[in-house]
Structure 1
Amino acid sequence: MLKSVADSYDLWLFAPKEPDWESRYLRGNTVVDTLDPREAMESAVRLAESVQIAGVLCYDEIRVPIAAIVAETLKLPCANVEGVRACRDKHLGREALAAAGVEQPASRAVASLEEAQEAARTTGFPVVLKPRALAASVGVVRADGPEAVEAAYSEASEAYFDEIPRDHAWVLVEEYLDGPEVSVESVCRDGRVTPMFVARKALGFAPHFEEVGHTVSADDPLLDDPAVRHVLQEAHTALGLGTLVTHTELRLTRNGPSLVEVNARLGGDLIPYVARLATGVDYGKVAADLAAGAEPDVTPVRTASAHIQFLYPEHDLDVTSLTVEDELPPGVHEVRLMVEPGRRLRLPPRDHVAGRYAYVVTTGASPEECAEALRAATPLIHLAGTPTG
């Protein structure tokens, strides 16, 4: 992201510590508590006295509300602070979407196991329990019957990030949506939504919802699907979102697309990077152009497919060695080893993204070609370790 943006704009980084690897992309930086809205606003106002600021951009899930506040304070293109808060707090988002009649699962915020059990009985099994304001599928678990609710509630209620305060009614009990899950990255400009690309997700570690892979095709038919476009626009309008890039997750149910959530940022898991390989569009630059008030160009310059697959061990282990063979098959764009010997890997739900040891990026004319290249590449990555108890 920083490299993409730095190719077109000067960057000034607000972060809670001095930059390290980021320095090569920066014109300057300010050390500031990026979770303190007042401190961030005051620092931005001081900076604007000596530097012309074109826009405010944030790719961190937890800090997007602060970035929206700073942009609004400086009277720059803005996502709308309340809309961003409704994206971060899934309960607030559900309430806004329900009031507007957007297609979504039934949802109830609960503060106790007893309330969760009652909500599950009312909704009907299976249900999904999740924390109302986390990310990366942490604490999200399906309960298929009454006997599974207690364990699911315990997991969802105990999930936390150090930087996020927990609300009293911290857990959502929601209707389970059957069908494939996709994410849609969109440009929202003054409330008008244009989908850029679709990522089709591979999920693993049921009853959890770990995202283990994503496939992007430049000509995915969902981009022009009227029902998908309708849900996207209705959701953004209901949340009051203004000018920003968004990452919207949908389930393609037998009754049509239904909204899982809207996030006020580009997707994680290197999805924009994979999409760039498929379409030729630099989505980091798109996000920066939008933040600076420019009209971004999201027209694909190539028509291909690309896939990213994250690799997990078969069981929890302490890594003793991790290697990849030099000669990789055609269609393998990149293999990245993510851990070193001595690292302990634990599978979801004990760890989520931290349980990965490598990822493989493949490209081809179709998703099938990407899958074929992945099947050829995976045996060439060798993980060894000592099982843990």
Structure 2
Amino acid sequence: MKTQAPRYVLILGGEFPLRERVLAGALRASGGLPIYTLAGTRTSTTIKFFDGYIVGDVSDPQGVLRAVQQHELEHDATPAAVIPMNDFTVRSALAVSQRYGLHHNSAETVHNCRDKFLMKQVLAGAGLPVPRFGAFLSFEELQRLAGEIGFPLVIKPRELAGSVGVIKVSNPAELRRAYEQCIADIKVLNGACMTTEDVFQAEEYIPAMNEVSVEIANHGHTHRVLGVTDKYLGAEPYFVETGHSVPSVHTGNEELVRIAERACEALGIRYGIAHFEARITPAGVIRIMEVGARTGGDAIMDLVERTYGFNPYEIHVGSYLGKPLDLPAGSLVSRGLAAVSFLKADEGVIQSVKMPRSLPHTIVNMQVTGKPNDVSERPISCRSREGSVEFFWKGRNPEQGFREHLDIARRMASEIFSVRPAARAGTTVAFEEEGSV
């Protein structure tokens, strides 16, 4: 009688920076199964920490499926679960899970969570609070939508992430320039994300006192909030994230929790952690920005772990393995304030990198990715970063207006990076940044 093929857990996106703790969570959740990742190159610095790896592009569903099937032919091993770690991995995880009959969110759910227009339609149809929105393919359609929605508004690609191409438009005179900038930002990617790049969305601009994300554990029809994160953004008209902190000043906001959990139910998210983002106006009105059927990036899972003492990735992987949620009863108790801020060199060419001789005890991790001869770009998306700094203040509570982590990272970046000016490449349309001098 033929014995069952060896099983392993496959992490899609496990080799990406600021997601390293998924390995610890997966080892605990799997009960000892080998943990594999998928990597685009054998030169990745993180794949050696996994039990094995499969070479492929995480954003190519059929390519990933072929690579997993080839691995099965060569090693007689099949996946027990395929774990998506960001937006560009969910369709690939779905393709492999369908082929091997594994637990995964439905194709409809994955598609609706990837396409921001479909997502907003589902959420609006469920009576959840979203900005006014519409889809467009051309500048003429954008003009029509702008007349209906009014100014200010925000334009964005429907299937990208990391703030790429997301631009605020304050008045009709800026509309053409913003449209051209959005397209230019997409072209810079050169098709690397393998997503539809010629569909866009316009939506009402929501003035916010706070922008937050909510991490929700899902298993079947059970949805439970694990943590709320305060998000910090750079200067408009762009929406680049410059840092995060956990807990949020809105951690006890019962309406926010209710809306986030209802959004997951409306979208049909049945497995794993979902990443929910919202803006909260000065009057306390909540508007949903988006919901991803995957974990939050930018080390947000690490911040949750430091604050509450459990690894969210263990819950994420366990759900895809079919294990019911095992969460502490009652409200989670914070152990302190965790934060991350991103290092940003001045615009230009980095001449030298000088690492600090010592770090304050509140810094628990620092990664410097910028190196000599790198071009430090204008901060308009997550692509323009030169590293990260993670903090933890034991026993500290969240504070409205907290910016200490941002200030420290800004000072550190000015000391670490020596930069000379460089001629602009010409892909960025000039906007007058709000709040700039």
| TM norm structure 2 | 0.79
Distance (Å, rounded) in 1 between the aligned partners of 2:265 and 2:59: 27
Matching residue of 2:397: 366
Q: Aligned pair 1:21/2:45, yes or no?
A: yes
Equivalent residue of 1:96, what SS?
Answer: helix
Can you list the C-alpha shifts for 1:257-307, whole angstroms capped at 9, x where unaligned? 211000111111111122222222212222111221223444457521111
Q: Aligned pair 1:31/2:31, yes or no?
A: no
What does 1:190-209 correspond to in 2, within 5 Å? Answer: 190-209=220-239
Distance (Å, rounded) in 1 between the aligned partners of 2:55 and 2:318: 25
Equivalent residue of 1:69, what SS?
Answer: helix
Amino acid in structure 2 at the alignment position of 1:388: A
Shift of 1:45: 6.1
Can you list the C-alpha shifts for 1:314-372, whole angstroms capped at 9, x where unaligned? 4x2111122233233342223322211111101133xx333222322221113459854
Distance (Å, rounded) in 1 between the aligned partners of 2:404 and 2:69: 52
The unaligned stretches of length 5 or more in structure 2 are: 1-19, 424-437
Amino acid in structure 2 at the alignment position of 1:317: G
Shift of 1:44: 4.7
Distance (Å, rounded) in 1 between the aligned partners of 2:171 and 2:410: 36
Contact 1:333 1:362 in 2 (8 A): yes
Contact 1:156 1:171 in 2 (8 A): no
Shift of 1:189: 1.0
Equivalent residue of 1:294, what SS?
Answer: coil
Amino acid in structure 1 at the alignment position of 2:55: V
Amino acid in structure 2 at the alignment position of 1:239: L
Deviates more, 1:10-19 or 1:56-65: 10-19
Shift of 1:74: 2.6
Equivalent residue of 1:324, what SS?
Answer: coil
Matching residue of 1:237: 265
Amino acid in structure 2 at the alignment position of 1:80: S
Question: In the alignment, which of 107, 119, 122 is matched to residue 93 of structure 1?
Answer: 119
Distance (Å, rounded) in 2 between the aligned partners of 1:373 and 1:229: 26
Matching residue of 1:324: 355
Q: Aligned pair 1:3/2:32, yes or no?
A: no
Distance (Å, rounded) in 1 between the aligned partners of 2:155 and 2:333: 41
Question: In the alignment, which of 307, 312, 331 is matched to residue 283 of structure 1?
Answer: 312
Question: In the alignment, which of 80, 88, 93 is matched to residue 54 of structure 1?
Answer: 80
Q: 1:370 to 1:91 in 2, by over 3 A?
A: closer
Distance (Å, rounded) in 2 between the aligned partners of 1:284 and 1:265: 10
Deviates more, 1:225-234 or 1:205-214: 225-234
Q: Aligned pair 1:116/2:116, yes or no?
A: no
Can you list the C-alpha shifts for 1:198-255, whole angstroms capped at 9, x where unaligned? 11011103110010010112xx463443311221132222222221211110111235
Q: 1:105 to 1:212 in 2, by over 3 A?
A: same
Question: In the alignment, which of 182, 195, 199 is matched to residue 212 of structure 2?
Answer: 182
Equivalent residue of 1:172, what SS?
Answer: strand
Shift of 1:90: 0.7
Can you list the C-alpha shifts for 1:121-174, whole angstroms capped at 9, x where unaligned? 211111001011100000000011111111111122343241334365x12110
Deviates more, 1:33-42 or 1:179-188: 33-42
Equivalent residue of 2:223, what SS?
Answer: strand
| TM norm structure 1 | 0.89
Distance (Å, rounded) in 1 between the aligned partners of 2:405 and 2:149: 42
Equivalent residue of 1:272, what SS?
Answer: helix
How many pairs does the alignment contain? Answer: 383
Deviates more, 1:82-91 or 1:284-293: 284-293
Shift of 1:43: 5.5
Shift of 1:377: 6.5
Matching residue of 1:274: 303
Equivalent residue of 2:383, what SS?
Answer: helix
Amino acid in structure 1 at the alignment position of 2:231: K
Q: Aligned pair 1:152/2:178, yes or no?
A: yes
The unaligned stretches of length 5 or more in structure 1 are: none
Contact 2:59 2:194 in 1 (8 A): no
Can you list the C-alpha shifts for 1:57-90, whole angstroms capped at 9, x where unaligned? 0213212112023223333221222111111111
Q: How many percent identity over aligned positions? A: 26
Distance (Å, rounded) in 2 between the aligned partners of 1:353 and 1:43: 29
Distance (Å, rounded) in 1 between the aligned partners of 2:114 and 2:323: 26
Contact 1:153 1:171 in 2 (8 A): no
Matching residue of 2:250: 222
Distance (Å, rounded) in 1 between the aligned partners of 2:352 and 2:54: 39
Q: 1:285 to 1:167 in 2, by over 3 A?
A: same
Distance (Å, rounded) in 2 between the aligned partners of 1:234 and 1:310: 32
Can you list the C-alpha shifts for 1:34-57, whole angstroms capped at 9, x where unaligned? 445445446556739943643210
Contact 2:112 2:119 in 1 (8 A): yes
Amino acid in structure 1 at the alignment position of 2:271: T
Deviates more, 1:55-64 or 1:294-303: 294-303
Distance (Å, rounded) in 2 between the aligned partners of 1:165 and 1:34: 12
Q: 1:54 to 1:19 in 2, by over 3 A?
A: farther
Distance (Å, rounded) in 2 between the aligned partners of 1:187 and 1:129: 30
Question: In the alignment, which of 196, 199, 203 is matched to residue 166 of structure 1?
Answer: 196
Matching residue of 2:411: 379
Distance (Å, rounded) in 2 between the aligned partners of 1:370 and 1:330: 19
Question: In the alignment, which of 294, 314, 320 is matched to residue 323 of structure 2?
Answer: 294
Q: 1:376 to 1:154 in 2, by over 3 A?
A: closer
Contact 1:330 1:373 in 2 (8 A): no
